[in-house]
């Protein structure tokens, strides 16, 4: 696809002369020359990727963007061989999206770039692969690749969210900075023979994968900004998890799985969750759906849709300290709100290390949750609680006076829902 100033605004109904997204929308009608969707979408002129980036992703990107010159040199070096090889590979063995080939995907791509105000439309290819997948790669110029498995799996609005997801990666520069950090990781591997060097490399790779996972949450948000249809985004994630059996699936039930995954089990399950997610570059699909639903219902998203968002022209003035402070606050809030047993233990320890052995025992065996439930049952019926305290030993797990039983409302009792 050739370079363009942006998607054709005549078919999109927008105007670059508008004052902002409050007055500028992408107005499209089904059956038009570009075959765009039959509803209006808001556009975000000069939007900074900081507007939709996850706090942990944002802090890393802000810090990397401050390394002026390094990314420019790296882009130039990367463009000499590896990127040229990839472009030739897809050019020779995949189908390039254009007005003549996969025209509906081409319209979605141009529409997504127009909504997020990405001036240079990336080249997109469709490659034969039954596994549903999409990616944005390339240092010098972003390159989007979607598989036939994904194209066949999703409907138009679900696919629009995926295209927006990949355009969000391009706007954030994820492909550039991911490659830089992978390059640094490769260099770090060469010092792994130094005492403690292997541990340092392991810590770096672990942190890198954590950032990758957070960058996927950022791109999910960009997909929602492009599609502006929460239900379509949810359906798309659900299909990626369970295949093209939409009549057999339910979004609410799917989202409940994420709640159950977070809250179920004891400390042993918390450790297994961590071990399961560590090697992954993407968060679990149910977790992605729950995170996106949470963001779609937030004040931050509503303000963005109302036209209040950071501008790209302000990126150079962004404070690295403020970005890391926001990231730290997010993780602290995650620990505070989480229903995971390990996070509950961390809250307990932060509020005081008294009876550490008892707390560890309860978290490993799940007894703490059972005691909390017993306390709630007793408090719901005072007469019944009196009978029980009068007829049982004072160390009974349901006894509200048990010294190891957390009081209702304390960090060891039931936690607020997500």
CA distance 400 to 381: 12
End-to-end CA distance of the chain: 43
Q: Of 123, 133, 136, whose CA–CA distance to 166 is shortest? A: 136
Q: Evaluate whether 115 touches 43 at the Cβ level (below 8 Å).
A: yes
CA of residue 402 relative to chain centroid, distance:
42
Distance of alpha carbon 73 from alpha carbon 341, whole angstroms: 46
Strands 40-42 and 25-27: antiparallel
- What would the two tokens of residue 177 be? 């900075």
Of 375, 380, 383, the C-alpha closest to 414 is 375
Catalytic-role residue among 166, 216, 262, 291: 166
C-alpha span between 354 and 364 (Å, rounded): 17
What span, in angstroms and rounded, lies between the C-alpha atoms of 134 and 143? Answer: 11
Which two structure tokens, joined as six digits, stand for 258? 């994420």
Active-site annotation holds for 314 = no
Q: How many CB atoms lie within 10 A of CB 155?
A: 13
- Tokens for 376, please give them: 């709630």
Residue 20, class by beta-carbon neighbours within 10 Å (0-12 exposed, 13-18 middle, 19+ buried)?
middle
Measure the CA angle with vertex 312, ends 42 and 319; round to 5°: 130
- Residue closest to 221 by CA, chosen among 145, 287, 165: 165
Task: Give catalytic residue positions.
Answer: 166
């Amino acid at each position: 696809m050739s370079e363009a100033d942006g998607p054709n605004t005549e078919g999109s109904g927008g105007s670059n002369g508008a004052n902002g997204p409050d007055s500028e929308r992408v107005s499209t009608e089904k059956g038009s020359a570009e075959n765009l969707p039959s509803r209006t979408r808001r556009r975000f002129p000069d939007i900074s990727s900081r507007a939709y980036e996850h706090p942990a992703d944002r802090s890393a990107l802000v810090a990397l963007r401050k390394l002026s010159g390094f990314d420019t040199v790296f882009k130039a070096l990367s463009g000499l061989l590896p990127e040229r090889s990839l472009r030739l590979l897809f050019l020779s063995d995949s189908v390039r999206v254009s007005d003549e080939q996969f025209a509906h995907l081409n319209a979605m791509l141009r529409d997504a770039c127009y909504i997020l105000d990405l001036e240079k439309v990336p080249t997109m290819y469709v490659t034969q692969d039954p596994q549903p997948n999409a990616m944005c790669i390339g240092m010098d110029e972003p390159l989007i690749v979607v598989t036939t498995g994904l194209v066949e799996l999703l409907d138009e609005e679900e696919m629009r969210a995926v295209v927006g997801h990949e355009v969000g990666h391009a706007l954030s520069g994820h492909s550039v900075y991911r490659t830089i950090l992978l390059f640094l990781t490769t260099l770090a591997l060469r010092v792994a023979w130094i005492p403690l060097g292997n541990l340092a490399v392991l810590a770096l790779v672990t942190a890198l994968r954590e950032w990758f996972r957070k960058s996927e949450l950022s791109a999910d948000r960009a997909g929602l900004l492009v599609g502006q249809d929460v239900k379509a985004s949810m359906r798309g994630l659900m299909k990626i998890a369970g295949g093209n059996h939409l009549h057999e699936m339910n979004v609410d039930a799917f989202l409940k799985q994420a709640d159950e995954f977070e809250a179920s089990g004891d400390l042993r399950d918390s450790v297994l969750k961590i071990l399961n997610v560590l090697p992954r570059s993407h968060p679990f699909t149910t977790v992605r759906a729950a995170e996106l639903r949470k963001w779609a219902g937030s004040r931050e998203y509503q303000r963005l849709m109302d036209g209040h968002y950071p501008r790209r022209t302000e990126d150079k003035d962004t404070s690295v300290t403020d970005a890391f402070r926001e990231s730290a606050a997010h993780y602290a809030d995650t620990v505070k709100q989480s229903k995971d047993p390990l996070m509950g233990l961390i809250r307990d320890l932060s509020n005081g290390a008294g009876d550490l052995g008892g707390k560890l025992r309860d978290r490993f065996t799940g007894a703490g949750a059972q005691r909390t439930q017993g306390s709630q049952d007793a408090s719901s019926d005072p007469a019944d609680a009196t009978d029980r305290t009068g007829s049982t030993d004072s160390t009974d797990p349901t006894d509200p006076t048990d010294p190891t039983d957390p009081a209702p409302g304390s960090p060891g009792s039931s936690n607020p829902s997500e």
